Structure 1
């Protein structure tokens, strides 16, 4: 993986580049990364925060993570690091286009799509012979984009990130800027509920998959739902 790809991976997991900041004093920040280490004797995964300061590499133990994917483990580790106060949100320069560090971080984080968990789920569905559309609005007039869409069966699948959608298993509330982040996550939850209701009222079945879920197990859930809808409407086929 290239240096740019590694940085992008860390940005996605942390919720934006500016949220990877370690305050080293006097208005200065160091850009941190999370390293995951698997201890084979115990099968446990430990997360460490690493950053460079004055030419020296520093390391801080964050905690153990236990998600099913690397992306989810990184997100979980960043959540712990924020909650513990090991990292903060960097102050935005005066000439920045963002109105605040938090808003800039959110904008940066929201650019990501076609994530590893999404690709894994799509591959599992494809192996089972299902065909679908990717990243489209189930209802063109409704500004809600689903990750996987079975148009004829009217099944919309959303892959939800553990941090941004408040996963009950892996979400860890941040201590720094807690009110902002809590409002953001609650807003996402509200929007998710509104999306579910709007699509349901229009005759769609909504399936939500957490990014930490095993893709094979999640695909079985989707396949069962699609085939059941097909059985209810014989004209529907397992294609977009």
Structure 2
């Protein structure tokens, strides 16, 4: 069953990790896919190739999500290529791990601009296009388990992910009258570029794995199914929701 047949799906930060898995997963379900990427044209091109191998059409658009004009350009390029906008997956994010007491202002501000401001600009630009079309749509934002729990070296990161979660709740109210659904996914510890260095510490990796009831750290592909579901008509009455995808880590307090 192809859940996104004929739809146009936009994914930010899609050259690697969760964004890449979501983009390829959407293509496997029949979508045309526009991907945003920040720096690596080679990785973006390989993602486009995988999308095409899955039977989808794809374009890659470079841009810094922290800039509002990037969102406008991305949505315009996708609409020019595929004729419409149906789904926005706001995924782009950074987490330069750093201690709290000596956090450089520029690290805090950059993290806020990419993770929270970038999500706002992208979701807003996509929503404007969807409202103009008059046929509804879906927005899925990649928040984090960090929206619900703290992290010693993530004092700049966790507030942005809580903000993304809150943004989807408020946008669900603002956009419901237009038939646009807004939901978030909250990944647990997923093996991606964002935490590769942090999880290089095998002792820490083993400790984190031991806390997860399903007995393993997550893979980027574990997010593709939940994102496709929330983007699809199977979730037609789901909006303002947050779906934990963490192998049970959040509930394992004992």
Is the TM value for this pair above 0.5? no
Q: Rg larger in 1 or in 2?
A: 1
TM-score, normalised to structure 1, is 0.32
- Normalised by the length of structure 2, the TM-score is 0.30
Question: Which structure features the higher share of helix residues?
Answer: 2
